[in-house]
């Protein structure tokens, strides 16, 4: 398991991120157009196993509709500007117009506006009216109330998301959410997140959830690792949680998909996440760069507005193309940030995986020089993989 001593009698485990591994091509290759990428949650199948993250710079009602019409899933944050303001566009203009120095303070102030319950229903109904799936997210403390409202409004999937999620949470200050009760009370799949370890994943599977989000702190706009010092690189986190999923399936005969959330900047990273055992991925910054994204070329973490301890920042990602170009191409850039589905299908074809479950069996190698080997001109000229 790569155990090392980092001091007297103190062991530590070596963990890996996407930049340190590569996938080995298969003995048989498959036409990319003939692979099956479908994701199954509850009893429904979704063609695109890539979810747009529940962040205010990524998903609003219009984006969710556009993504849904392309076969993808976009998660609306029920605690962001969409449910605090009748006209969130004015607020988004202010955030995009702020200087880097004032951005976090401004965001903190704007998020002090109370959440309006009628807007929770309204936003879901607006998405559903377009005939696409509605997926929403809330923190555990608001899950019971918002879960009931969302379910009544016709939501398809409800996500309970916090920086670190465990079944056993201790607090005297507020009522702790009982995940077992909550999952049982909801008539729709409940996805829980986020976690990074085998043991916690096993316990969360037992709640009756319909999916699990994997990842603490790897997001482009997240600063959790710098602020709290916690996190596990995504390759190791995904492999460990996938092992828990497989062990749970062996024991209970119930397959619960895991969704790697954050840390994937390119199509290559997404392909590696699937090879590590992900059934789907959740991506923020890649979609924040689309013309349809509400962030106007900016992206900020979900915990950026935290009143006392912001764990996110506003970053400029720019606008690189339409949502269709980012998801399906044709790609206009050569850095792997567009045509994500094409990249996944081509990679699956090259490793000889007909399905996502077959992709899980791909041979993985540790290759820290994979990004730089032979790329001296790209690095010197800041093009391609050297940007």
Active-site entry in 183, 195, 209, 222: 222
Dist. CA 77–CA 68, nearest whole Å: 16
Residue 127 structure tokens: 């998405």
**Is 6 within the bounds of a domain?**
no
pLDDT for the residue numbered 175: 72
Q: What is each CA distance from 254 to 129, 169, 178, 191, in whole angstroms? A: 33, 25, 21, 15
DSSP letters for 68-84: HHTT-EEEEETTSHHHH
pLDDT digits (tens, 9 = 90+) for 200-216: 999 999 999 999 999 98
User: Could you say which residues of the chain have pLDDT below 50?
Assistant: none
DSSP letters for 304-348: TT-SS---B-EEE----B-HHHHHH---S-SSS-S-HHHHHHHHH
**Is 55 within the bounds of a domain?**
yes
**Is 3 within the bounds of a domain?**
no
As for how many domains the chain has, the answer is 1
pLDDT for the residue numbered 373: 72
Residue 171's φ and ψ, nearest 5 degrees, are -155, 135
**Is 7 within the bounds of a domain?**
no
Decide if 311 is catalytic.
no
CATH number at residue 141: 3.20.20.70
pLDDT for the residue numbered 375: 67
pLDDT for the residue numbered 243: 98
Structural domain span for residue 60: 16-386
**Is 64 within the bounds of a domain?**
yes
Return the ∠ at Cα 260 (arms to 36 and 161), rounded to 5°: 125
Helix (H, G, I), strand (E, B) or coil at 144: helix
**Is 8 within the bounds of a domain?**
no
pLDDT for the residue numbered 32: 96
User: Burial of 340 by CB count in 10 Å (0-12 exposed, 13-18 middle, 19+ buried)?
Assistant: buried
Decide if 222 is catalytic.
yes
pLDDT for the residue numbered 304: 56
**Is 318 within the bounds of a domain?**
yes
Helix (H, G, I), strand (E, B) or coil at 281: strand
Distance, first Cα to last Cα, the chain: 34
DSSP letters for 203-241: HHHTTT-SEEEE-SS-STTB-HHHHH-----HHHHHHHH
**Is 9 within the bounds of a domain?**
no
């Amino acid at each position: 398991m790569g155990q090392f001593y980092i001091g007297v009698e103190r062991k530590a485990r070596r963990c890996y991120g996407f930049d340190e591994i590569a996938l080995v091509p298969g003995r048989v290759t498959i036409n990319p157009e003939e692979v099956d990428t479908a994701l199954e949650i509850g009893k429904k199948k979704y063609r695109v196993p890539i979810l747009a993250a529940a962040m205010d710079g990524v998903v609003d009602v219009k984006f969710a509709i556009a993504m849904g019409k392309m076969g993808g899933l976009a998660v609306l944050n029920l605690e962001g500007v969409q449910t605090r303001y009748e006209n969130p566009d004015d607020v988004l203009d202010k955030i995009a117009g702020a200087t880097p120095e004032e951005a976090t303070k401004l965001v903190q102030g704007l998020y002090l506006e109370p959440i309006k319950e009628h807007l929770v229903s309204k936003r879901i109904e607006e998405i559903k009216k377009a005939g696409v799936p509605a997926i929403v997210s809330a923190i555990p403390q608001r899950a019971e109330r918002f879960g009931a409202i969302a379910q009544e409004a016709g939501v398809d999937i409800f996500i309970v998301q916090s920086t670190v999620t465990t079944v056993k949470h201790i607090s005297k200050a507020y009522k702790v959410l009982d995940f077992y009760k909550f999952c049982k009370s909801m008539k729709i799949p409940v996805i829980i997140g986020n976690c990074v370890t085998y043991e916690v994943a096993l316990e969360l599977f037992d709640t009756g959830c319909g999916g699990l989000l994997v990842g603490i702190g790897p997001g482009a706009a997240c600063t959790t690792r710098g602020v709290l010092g916690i996190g596990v690189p995504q390759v190791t986190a995904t492999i460990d949680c996938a092992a828990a999923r497989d062990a749970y399936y062996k024991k209970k005969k119930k397959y619960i998909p895991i969704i790697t959330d954050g840390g994937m900047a390119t199509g290559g990273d997404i392909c590696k996440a699937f090879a590590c055992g992900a059934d789907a991925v959740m991506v923020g910054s890649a979609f924040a760069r689309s013309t349809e994204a509400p962030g106007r070329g900016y992206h900020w973490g979900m915990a950026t507005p935290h009143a006392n301890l912001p764990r996110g920042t506003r970053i400029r990602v720019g606008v690189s193309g339409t949502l269709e170009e980012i998801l399906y191409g044709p790609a206009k850039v050569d850095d792997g940030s567009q045509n994500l589905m094409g990249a996944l299908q081509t990679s699956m074809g090259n490793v000889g995986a007909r399905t996502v479950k077959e992709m899980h069996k791909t041979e993985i190698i540790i290759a820290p020089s994979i990004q730089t080997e032979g790329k001296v001109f790209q690095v010197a000229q800041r093009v391609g993989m050297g940007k």
